[in-house]
Chains A and B, each alone.
Chain A
Amino acid sequence: MKLADLAQQRQDYSYAFLDAHAKRELRRRILKAIAIPGYQVPYASRELPIARGWGTGGLQVTLSLVGPESVVKVIDQGADDSVNAANLRRFITTMSGAKTTIDTLQATILQSRHRIPEEIMLEGQTLVLQVPDPEPLRGVTADMSKAHQLHADADYGQMWLLLYEQLVRYRQYIQGASYPSLVNGRYIISPSPIPRWDTPKLHQAAHLTLLSAGREKRLYAVPPYTNVYPLEFNDVPFQVEDQKGWVCKTTGVQNKFMNELPQEDGTSQYELSDSGYANKLADTAQSGATYYDDQGDFYHAGYLKPPVIPPI
């Protein structure tokens, strides 16, 4: 017998890049995150060969989940063919041998920056959202230790005050993306910089959502079938982006989230932000069920309410 027979074959990198030690840590943290929906679990966060701030938080979670039989979809701003999405996808497949797809419904793991797809995700699917800033209270306090204490005490008064001030000044909530939302009645989260259009999709979803911030070293979860409510006063309901009348120039579809394309003549054209969905419509003219129907009605009836502009 030779020594070489006993030793493991030398490998430049572990399977899925992360070594066993790093994977175990992430996995322990993911389980805690699922058990405490919306609580930001601190983790060590390893460096990856991708620049920090470019999705390394989401990537670490994906790498701790992925296997050879996984089917991975990666999108950035809704698009599969964005260079950043292509780059992350290439890294995941090179390191894991996983298959890739642009079809939301075929994916076992869907890593995304800034969007949740239009088609309703299914049980057993995992949505991994890349998070630049996990702290929804940053606007109230930039100090992480103080924000952490506010979460511990469920002391969210200042967040409500912030919303109230918006109503006083602008007669509406003016938060764009990353709309702060209350998870399972306990923790306020940043749902990552998804548009408000996508925030309701986290509520009572069939799939698991894991959110991870690599630089900030925090990960949190929205488990399946969990209540997620955007912060709103009872008499001034939360509103998604108003894109009524915007028609996709290639598919003719309406009432899905659109990219606005400024034209030279000063007008705008529109196209579907979800490129996988657009491809599906172009290829087969069919898709899975969508969160918003053709009339723009959300699939949980009554969850979204018509706008109310409070009087001055």
Chain B
Amino acid sequence: MAVPAYTPSEAQARDTFLALMWALSYPGRVYTLPADGHALSLIGVTLLDLETSYFTPDAVIAENLAQTGARAQPAAKAAYHFYPVLDAANLDGLHQCSTGTLLYPDAASTLVIGCQIGIGAGYILHGPGILGQQTIQLDGIPADFWLLRSAVCRYPLGWDVYFVDEQRIVGLPRSVQVERSST
């Protein structure tokens, strides 16, 4: 029997998934998404189908995500959130987005956030996936985001976050503690 064909769409979905998986397994390290297409939409197409839901304030991404069959939902109800830019208005929505329940912490939201990686404010990460500590620099993430995260995310509840800068991606699972670096 011949090996079933490894189609371009299979390859793209798998490469994207592996970048997400390793980004979450080794938080703070930079991984690379496949080069073709808009990174946030690519993540959406890889993870979404009619079994799940999304929220995005961006019209273009919304159009791409709608084709997956997933349900568009308000921020409070969506499982997957896509923010090309995280501004003050979006932060209001984040207040409401699910951190899961103690019975089903996996029902929490996943946030995909556009920003600049490697410049800007420095952060020190501790926790699973990190040997000792890991430092990252991110620009375009409002300080209020971090305040909100530490206020509403009570492990094992919390959001799982991916920071995306063009094809580069960094993962931040709820299990990781973040401090502002003094340098």
In A134-175, which residues have CB < 8 Å from any B CB? 148-149, 152-153
- Chain A residues with CB below 8 A from B13, complex form: 20, 23-24
Query: Is B151 on the interface with A (CB-CB < 8 A)?
Result: no
Q: In the bound complex, do residue B173 and residue A11 qualify as a contact, i.e. CB atoms below 8 Å apart?
A: no
Contact in complex: B3, A96 (CB < 8 Å): yes
How long is the Cα–Cα vector from A124 to B5 in the complex, in angstroms?
26
Q: Can you name the residue of chain B whose Cβ is closest to the Cβ of A40?
A: B106
Chain-B contact segment, one of A26-34, A188-196, A266-274, A277-285: A26-34
Contact, CB under 8 Å: A36 / B25: no
Q: What residues of chain A lie closer than 8 Å to B25, measured between beta carbons?
A: 34, 208, 223-224
Is B103 a contact partner of A152 (Cβ separation < 8 A)?
yes
Nearest residue (CB) in A for B172 is A35
**A47 near B: Cβ within 8 Å?**
no
B47 within 8 A of A: yes
Most chain-A CB neighbours within 10 Å: which of B18, B102, B106, B155? Answer: B106
Binds A, one of B34-42, B82-90, B127-135, B140-148: B127-135
Q: When the two chains form their complex, are residues A39 and B3 in contact, meaning their CB atoms are under 8 A apart?
A: no
How near does chain A come to B122, taking the closest CB pair, in angstroms? Answer: 21
Q: Does A21 contact B (CB under 8 A)?
A: yes
Partner of A94, one of B3, B47, B131: B3
B174 within 8 A of A: yes
Tell me the residues in window 5-41 of chain A with beta carbons closer than 8 Å to chain B beta carbons: 8-9, 11-17, 20-21, 23-25, 27-37, 39, 41
Rounded to whole angstroms, the CA-CA distance of A14 and B14 in the bound complex is: 13
**Residues on the A chain within 8 Å of B106, using CB:** 29, 32-33, 36, 39, 41-42
Give min CB distance, A33 to chain B, whole Å.
8
Q: What residues of chain A lie closer than 8 Å to B123, measured between beta carbons?
A: none
Q: How far is the CB of B7 from chain A (nearest CB, A)?
A: 7
**CB atoms of A184 and B175 under 8 A apart:** yes
Q: Which residues of B contact A30 (CB under 8 A)?
A: 21
User: Chain B's interface: helix, strand, loop or mixed, by majority?
Assistant: loop
- CB contact list, B48-81 vs A, under 8 A: 48-49, 51-52
- Whole-angstrom CA separation of A35 from B48 in the bound complex: 18
**Any A CB within 8 A of the CB of B98:** no
B3 x A35 contact (CB < 8 A): no
In the complex, chain B residues whose CB is within 8 Å of the CB of A96: 3, 6
Q: Shortest Cβ distance from A8 into chain B, in angstroms?
A: 8
Q: Is the CB of A15 within 8 A of B10?
A: yes
Contact pick for A95, options B4, B26, B127, CB 8 Å: B4
Tell me, in angstroms, the Cα distance from A123 to B25 when the chains sit together.
Answer: 10
Q: How far is the CA of A186 from the CA of B127 in the complex (A)?
A: 13
Any chain B CB within 8 A of the CB of A97?
A: yes
In the complex, the chain A residue whose C-beta lies closest to that of B156 is: A36
Asked if A34 contacts B21 (CB within 8 A), the reply is yes
Instruction: Say whether A67 faces chain B, with CB atoms less than 8 Å apart.
Output: yes
> Quick one: which of B6, B24, B103, B128 contacts A184, CB cutoff 8 A?
B128
Given that A36-B106, A225-B130 are contacting pairs, would A97 and B173 also be in contact in the complex, using a CB cutoff of 8 Å?
no
Complex-state Cα separation, A65 to B22, whole angstroms:
12
Query: Is B119 in the interface zone, CB < 8 Å from A?
Result: no
- A201 CB, nearest partner CB in chain B, Å: 16
Q: Which residue of A lies closest to B100 (CB)?
A: A36
Q: Which B residues are in CB contact (< 8 Å) with A204?
A: 131
| Bound complex: CA A225 to CA B156 (Å) | 18
Q: Which residues of B contact A187 (CB under 8 A)?
A: 156
Cβ B1 vs Cβ A35 within 8 A: no
Q: Across the interface, do A152 and B3 meet the contact criterion of CB distance under 8 Å? A: no
The residue in chain B whose Cβ has the minimal distance to the Cβ of A13 is B4
Cα A16 to Cα B129 in complex, Å, equals 28
22 residue pairs A–B, Cβ–Cβ below 8 Å = A11-B4, A15-B4, A15-B7, A24-B13, A25-B51, A28-B52, A30-B21, A31-B20, A31-B160, A34-B24, A36-B106, A39-B106, A41-B106, A68-B3, A68-B6, A96-B6, A97-B3, A149-B103, A187-B156, A208-B25, A223-B173, A225-B129
Shortest beta-carbon contacts, A-B, top 10: A35-B173, A97-B3, A226-B128, A32-B106, A152-B102, A35-B160, A223-B128, A15-B4, A152-B103, A223-B129
* A residues at B contact (CB < 8 Å): 8-9, 11-17, 20-21, 23-25, 27-37, 39, 41-42, 64-65, 67-68, 94-97, 123-124, 148-149, 152-153, 184, 186-187, 204, 206, 208, 223-227
